[in-house]
Each structure stands twice: as structure tokens, then as C-alpha cells.
Amino acid sequence: MGVSSGRARVADLAFQVFNRAVHPDWFATRVYRRIPQERWEADVRIIEGGHAIIFGTGPIRLTEVLSGPETPLPEPGLLFHSAIRTERSASLHPGGIVEYQTCFEVERVDREVFRHLCDEMIADGSRHALVHRFGSSNRLAPPALTHVHVEARVRGLSVQSFHTFPDECAIVRSQSLYELIRTSPKC
């Protein structure tokens, strides 16, 4: 009989992007940070099973969600949906105002390498990172972790996320870039 970390399996995860803000009540938020800038703003959340990012500028809102079946989401506004099984990438240009690029993958590693990577994520408590340790029913394994590193730029936001799955010795990584498209001045 195995002991579970209580986290969803990687095969049950979905990566979704919406062309609207998804209300925070849809998420079981564990850690939250708002990033206000002059031309854009973002809400970054570590949620049960993954993360949620809402990026906005003017009338445009984009919501990226990596989550498991414990986070049912509405369908209206869904632009992109993918299971997390292989490496994938996507590029979207909603409203011609924002260029959104993302890539994500799952990597399975040796148990010792997995433990070492978890220790590194915990040690990286920089002010640019959100980190959350999820509860575990297995005291011998490292806890499930989510580490989200955010970098605000004048024209957008860069986000790297790492989600660990101790039962599978797996790490799901994603990298997303939200960038304002320069518009030419009108004559």
C-alpha cells in the first residue's frame, strides 16, 4: 500500500488560457501577489493544484490557469486548453494589444535528484518568488511544492513556475511571457 502526497496526478492536470478575467472565487488560493505597473497589472496566485495568473491592460484580460480536477473552471472565453503530458507551446495575440507566449513540460527524475531540486526551490525565497508547501500524508517524502518566479518589465511580465509531484518524482514547469505590442503612432 503506497502513501500519497494528496496532490492530483500529473496526467490529471490541464493548462488553460482564457480571454477574460476568471473570478478568484473559482480558485482555492494559497499565496497571492498583485503586480501593478503603469501600463498593465497582474494578479499571480498559487492555487490548489497549480497556479493562476490574470494579466490586464486596458480592455484586455488574459487568465492562465494550471490546475487539476479539483479546480473546475467555466468554459466561456477559453482560448487554449491542453493536458500536461508532453512539451507544448502556444502563442496568442488577443486584441492585437498583447503578445502572450507560453511553454510547459513535465519531467520525471530520480528520487535523489527530485529531493535536491525541492530543496533548491525552498531555498530560493527571493522577493520575486511565491512559494507554497502543500501538506503531505507521507512524512518520508518531500512535500508537494509550487514555486512561481515573477519578473515585471516595463512592457510586460515574465513568469516561470515549478510544481512538484512527490508521488511521481515529477516536476511540471511552465514559462509565460505577457508583452504589450508596440503600436505605431497615428498620423
Residue-wise pLDDT for 14-44, tens only, equals 999 999 999 988 888 999 999 999 999 999 9
CB under 8 Å, gap of 24 or more: what pairs does 28-37 form? 28/70, 28/71, 30/132, 30/134, 30/146, 31/130, 31/131, 31/132, 31/148, 33/130, 33/150, 35/150, 35/152, 35/157, 37/152, 37/154
Give the confidence band of 54 by pLDDT, cuts at 50, 70, 90: very high
- Tens digit of pLDDT for each residue in 113-155? 888 888 887 777 666 788 888 877 667 777 888 999 999 999 9
Which residue's C-alpha cell is 507521507? 138
pTM, two decimal places:
0.88
**pLDDT at residue 1 tops 80:** no
